[in-house]
Chains A and B, each alone.
Chain A
């Protein structure tokens, strides 16, 4: 039974207040306005990724000995969510695939408009692709095999070439890239926010130079219009708009992590779904690393009589990914009985509150690889130059890693709870509704955090 009438609730429509503008610092402004930005980063990153691609395809066939595997999965993959947290989607500005897309576009680009179905279902495609790639990794061993990783890179490269050749701007990055979807979600917790000064923009006589581009710099690669932009999900901080704006109306402000999530005005269910799916994927990644995983597989095998590991994994994977989605659905249904919105809207709104916990779980999981195997990057890359350096790969002890993991999880938990509170307080004006809405969400956040803690506590099995 609803305890309030819809008319009682008025959503706070205020926008995210701005913090310190980094563009007031002359060196930052000079860097971002320079025609060499972000090329100065794109070139070395593309060179390193070229090396990674070569090593994956033509280097040692064992993941242990392959510098491509070490650079990609021990260094890059664990660092990337941390980059999202501090710099939003800046990685996307210097991503080698984006560089390739721009190059192909200059070479042969037809610049057709983005197909309507991509605009409409793009994020769902990203959701599906992210889940599919994670599934394929476990079933076909993509990540465990340098060759598999190389093939994945080739497939992505081909998709980028197709999109770059036929469609406008960075269509692939905006509507198809699974990492772009992930980074879009995580960038909303980012500590840097690019926006336009609405007062100046009102007086602007240029024809949306920031969006369409000028002689100074190309158009916004992700089709964002700074004047109306409220989210960092589709801003790569490429600084094109900063160079193009004739009125210096763009601001680049510092803000506390997760702040953007407190002011989401138009929550999207697909973004919330992705947040929950990521939670499920991280849980599955953790579970498959536990000693009990083999026992679980054996148990399922003896119970069902199915001996095909791929089928069993697919079932477990589907359950794992869907569990957080179903739990949020349940929490949203309970919350919907106490507030003015239906459960779908509650799902869309409060899914964003889980993003801080998502990123914390993701970082904590990957930190294990970076800190427990970090030196292997040096060993394997040095082997390219003939070095026989060897030794322990661990940068710090397992105990230290576990402590850091729990600190990160605690921060994620706090961030998620605080974000949920801010969302509820912004949306609902009465304390009773706020509290009633928050209860199931807080229980969900606590349960998922507890599950993560348990998984990080359990001993992990090595299966090699």
Chain B
């Protein structure tokens, strides 16, 4: 049973790792101009499935804060199939997504993870110190009790 579990976990881990490494190799130039162009081309060709397919009103698709990209898809609101039949360059089919053009400055990954890592290290170190102090106190109490027991 234990071996089977390990095997299952290992397979799952391998799948995740394979996906991650593939993603890493692909996303190395995610924000490069060439990539942006590819993205735009893909959108124009209608090849990027997700924008045409996913409902912008999903809880992840509320772009109320991204003005300027609004209302262009109002016509397709009630028919998810309509967009596939429309020419990608017709009015109302502006697929430009402001977030595609997010720069590294908008997503400071290294700084964020660095801050997270430092803060976590501080918390863990603090907890470790407290735990060691508690352990010492507990041991000294146990010893004190033993001594008392012996003297009585």
Chain A residues close to B by CB (< 8 Å): 36, 40, 43-44, 47-48, 50-51, 54-55, 57-65, 69-70, 72-74, 77, 104, 107-110, 137-141, 143-145, 147, 149, 151, 154, 157-158, 161-162, 165-166, 285, 288-289, 291, 294, 309, 313, 366, 368-369, 372-373, 375-376, 379-380, 384-386, 388-394, 398, 459-464
Q: Given A144-B65, A462-B73, are A154 and B80 neighbors across the interface (CB < 8 Å)?
A: no
Q: Given A61-B99, A166-B127, A463-B64, are A369 and B58 neighbors across the interface (CB < 8 Å)?
A: yes
Q: What are 28 pairs between A and B in contact, CB < 8 Å? A: A44-B9, A54-B23, A58-B109, A60-B27, A60-B30, A62-B51, A62-B100, A64-B48, A73-B60, A138-B65, A141-B63, A144-B66, A149-B60, A154-B112, A158-B123, A165-B127, A288-B62, A366-B59, A368-B55, A373-B58, A379-B49, A386-B26, A393-B53, A398-B79, A398-B80, A462-B55, A463-B62, A463-B69
Q: What is the count of residue pairs linking A and B with beta-carbon distances less than 8 angstroms?
A: 231
Across-interface contacts of A108 in B (CB, < 8 A): 124, 127-128, 131
Judged by a CB distance under 8 angstroms, whether B86 is at the interface is no
- CB pair A309–B64 under 8 Å, yes or no, is yes
Q: Which of B19, B80, B102, B120 contacts A372 (CB 8 A)?
A: B80
- CB pair B78–A460 under 8 Å, yes or no, is yes
- By beta carbon, the residue of chain B nearest A381 is B19
Return A130 CB to nearest CB of chain B, in Å. Answer: 14
In the bound complex, CA of A380 to CA of B60 (Å):
14
Q: Which of B19, B100, B124 contacts A51 (CB 8 A)?
A: B19
* Most chain B CB within a 10 A radius of its CB, from A294, A313, A463: A463
Across-interface contacts of A165 in B (CB, < 8 A): 123-124, 126-127
- CB pair A144–B63 under 8 Å, yes or no, is yes
Judged by a CB distance under 8 angstroms, whether B89 is at the interface is no
User: Sorted from nearest, which 4 A-B pairs have the closest CB atoms?
Assistant: A390-B49, A393-B53, A73-B60, A165-B127
Across-interface contacts of A386 in B (CB, < 8 A): 22, 26
- By beta carbon, the residue of chain A nearest B13 is A47
- CB pair B1–A463 under 8 Å, yes or no, is no
In the bound complex, CA of A462 to CA of B26 (Å):
30
Which of chain B's residues 38-61 have a Cβ closer than 8 Å to chain A?
39, 46-61
Across-interface contacts of B120 in A (CB, < 8 A): 158, 161
In the bound complex, CA of A231 to CA of B140 (Å):
42
* Most chain A CB within a 10 A radius of its CB, from B22, B60, B69, B81: B60
Across-interface contacts of B57 in A (CB, < 8 A): 289, 368-369, 460-463
Return B2 CB to nearest CB of chain A, in Å. Answer: 8
Which of chain B's residues 117-146 have a Cβ closer than 8 Å to chain A?
119-120, 123-124, 126-128, 130-131, 134
* Most chain B CB within a 10 A radius of its CB, from A151, A373, A389: A373
Q: Which of B65, B77, B97, B119 contacts A460 (CB 8 A)?
A: B77
B interface residue count range (under 10 / 10 to 19 / 20 to 34 / 35 or more): 35 or more
- CB pair B102–A147 under 8 Å, yes or no, is yes
Across-interface contacts of B147 in A (CB, < 8 A): none
- CB pair A63–B60 under 8 Å, yes or no, is yes
- By beta carbon, the residue of chain A nearest B128 is A108
- CB pair A57–B124 under 8 Å, yes or no, is no
Return A200 CB to nearest CB of chain B, in Å. Answer: 30
Binary interface encoding of chain B residues 60-99 relative to chain A, with 1 for a CB under 8 A from any of its CBs, else 0: 1111111101111110111111001000000000000101
Judged by a CB distance under 8 angstroms, whether B37 is at the interface is no
Q: Given A54-B20, A64-B51, A108-B127, are A73 and B58 neighbors across the interface (CB < 8 Å)?
A: yes
